[in-house]
């Protein structure tokens, strides 16, 4: 197909789908075009590309992208201004893949199954022509939900109000408690992998709102809706915030998800498991060697009493709080009889005045005491 034929197709095709169908008839090859998140935007019908897109239709986007990363395909294609010819073992066909470039950045991908041979120039011309249709949509950062989440994460009164209003107007049905999850991978092609991850999440549950903002990937979960285990591939790590009730708190809780990932190495890390480390770091940064100022008077009294009478009230309090106020788990962890733990908790409340409804203050005090004691 020469440039004149391609120009005529562009002038007659009102949208990307009609352009793809017209080109496919001319080159006699099935092909399709994806956006930067590996969503199929258009696929040819004659020759038909459906058989080659079964995995994507079945919500296996992440699986295919992982395979491309493992065999180095993404590294060959991403940012390359020339087409890459290869044999795709998955579909057992010769194909050519090329980034669609607009203003020096990739905005999509062109894939052609080579039933008929094509030259490099032919592929480049189709890619350049496709950019005419994609460049308008590329200016929008994502779906309406994604734009709303991006606004909520900006943490200004104006953006937060607008983000909530957008979700309300588009009929977002998510109910509290909410969680913010940060997803990340270590691979060089991390953005491609995260985009594919979000595509699979959207396909599995439209209530889950995900977006990539400033190269960071966040997902808003709501009551009764979590990321399906089958979508969490080997490369992806997740950091979970504590639950929260109001959407205007999204930015604050996103920081918790960041901290969870930074302080742990597991596939899934939860801020509640790293709360002590976070508080200790805040105390160090805020007061240096003055950690004692952050300790409740009641807990200072417990430390003094333990030192004088060789008791273990502080250790009991620490285990009790860390084990979600379970007397049985505290007894097991300290190798004590349950009745002993019950007695000590009663003493903590009655004698020392510990109020277990003030858990935030207790957490801060325990973290500060750990620094203060040394």
Q: Give 33's strand partners.
A: 42, 110
Residues 6+ apart with CB under 8 A from 175: 222, 223, 224
8 A C-beta contact, residue 367 and residue 279: yes
Among 359, 368, 358, 347, CA closest to 302: 347
Which of 116-139 are b and which e, b meaning 16 or more Cβ less than 10 Å from the residue's Cβ?
eebeeebbbbbbbbbbebbeeebe
Closest CA to 162 of 170, 171, 172, 152: 152
Predicted model pTM? 0.58
Dist. CA 128–CA 131, nearest whole Å: 5
Q: What stretch(es) of the chain map to CATH 1.10.10.2840?
A: 278-373
- Cis previous bond, 30, omega within 30: no
How far is Cα 344 from Cα 309, in angstroms, rounded to an integer?
14
Q: Which part of the chain has CATH 3.30.70?
A: 144-272
Are the CB atoms for 192 and 78 separated by under 8 Å? yes
Render the burial of 239-274: b for 16+ CB within 10 Å, e for the rest: bbbbebeebebbeebbebbbbbbebbeeebbbbeeb
Q: Note down pLDDT in tens along the chain; length 374 residues.
A: 788 888 889 888 989 999 999 999 999 999 999 887 677 899 999 999 999 998 887 777 778 887 787 777 877 887 788 999 999 888 899 999 999 988 777 888 999 999 999 999 999 999 999 988 887 554 444 567 887 888 888 867 777 788 888 888 878 888 999 999 999 998 777 888 888 888 888 888 888 999 888 789 999 999 999 998 888 877 899 999 988 888 888 988 898 899 899 888 999 999 888 877 777 777 666 554 567 777 888 999 999 999 999 999 999 999 999 898 999 999 999 999 999 999 999 999 999 999 988 887 888 888 888 878 76
277, two tokens: 């480390």
Residues of the chain with CATH 3.30.450.40: 3-138
pLDDT at 107: 83
Q: What span, in angstroms and rounded, lies between the C-alpha atoms of 195 and 338?
A: 50
- What length is written for the chain? 374
- What whole-number distance in Å separates Cα of residue 244 and Cα of residue 160? 15
Tokens for 309, please give them.
């009478």
At 21 the pLDDT is: 95
List, in sequence order, the alpha helices (H) in 139-229.
144-152, 157-169, 190-204
Q: What is the pLDDT of residue 145?
A: 80
Q: How far is CA 38 from CA 35, 53, 60, 145, 192, in A?
A: 5, 11, 11, 18, 8
Q: Which two tokens stand for residue 46?
A: 């004659």
What is 144-272's CATH number?
3.30.70
- Determine the pLDDT at residue 285: 62
Element (H, E) at 353: none
Coil, strand or helix at 324: coil
CA angle, residues 20, 23, 28, in degrees to nearest 5: 115
For the domain with range 278-373, which CATH number is right: 3.30.1330.40, 1.10.10.2840, 3.40.50.300, 3.40.50.2000? 1.10.10.2840
- The CATH homologous superfamily of the domain defined by 3-138: GAF domain (3.30.450.40)
**End-to-end C-alpha distance for the chain, whole angstroms:** 75
């Amino acid at each position: 197909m020469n440039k004149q034929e391609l120009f005529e197709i562009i002038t007659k095709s009102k949208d990307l789908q009609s352009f793809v169908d017209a080109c496919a008839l001319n080159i006699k090859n099935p092909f399709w075009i994806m956006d930067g998140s590996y969503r199929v935007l258009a696929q040819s019908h004659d020759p038909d590309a459906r058989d080659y897109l079964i995995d994507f239709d079945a919500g296996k986007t992440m699986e295919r992208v992982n395979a491309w990363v493992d065999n180095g395909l993404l590294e060959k294609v991403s940012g390359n201004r020339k087409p890459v010819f290869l044999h795709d073992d998955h579909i057992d066909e010769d194909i050519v893949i090329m980034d669609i470039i607009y203003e020096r950045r990739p905005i999509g991908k062109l894939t052609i199954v080579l039933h008929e041979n094509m030259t490099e120039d032919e592929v480049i011309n189709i890619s350049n022509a496709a950019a005419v249709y994609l460049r308008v949509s590329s200016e929008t950062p994502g779906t309406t939900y994604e734009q709303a989440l991006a606004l909520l994460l900006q943490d200004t009164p104006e953006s937060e109000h607008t983000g909530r209003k957008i979700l309300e107007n588009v009929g977002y049905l998510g109910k509290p408690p909410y969680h913010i999850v940060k997803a990340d991978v270590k691979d060089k092609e991390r953005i491609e992998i995260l985009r594919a991850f979000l595509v699979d999440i959207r396909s599995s549950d439209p209530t889950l709102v995900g977006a990539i903002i400033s190269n960071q990937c966040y997902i808003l979960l709501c009551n009764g809706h979590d990321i399906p285990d089958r979508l969490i591939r080997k490369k992806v790590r997740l950091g979970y915030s504590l639950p929260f009730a109001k959407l205007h708190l999204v930015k604050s809780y996103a920081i918790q998800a960041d901290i969870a990932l930074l302080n742990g190495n597991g596939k899934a890390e939860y801020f509640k498991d790293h709360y002590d480390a976070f508080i200790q770091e805040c105390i160090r940064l805020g007061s240096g060697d003055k950690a004692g100022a952050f300790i409740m008077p009641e807990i200072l009294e417990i430390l003094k009493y333990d030192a004088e009478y060789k008791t273990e009230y502080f250790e009991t309090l620490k285990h009790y709080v860390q084990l979600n106020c379970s007397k049985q788990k505290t007894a097991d962890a300290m190798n004590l009889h349950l009745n002993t733990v019950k007695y000590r908790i009663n003493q903590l409340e009655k004698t020392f005045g510990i109020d277990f409804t003030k858990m935030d203050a207790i957490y801060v005090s325990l973290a500060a005491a750990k620094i203060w004691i040394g």
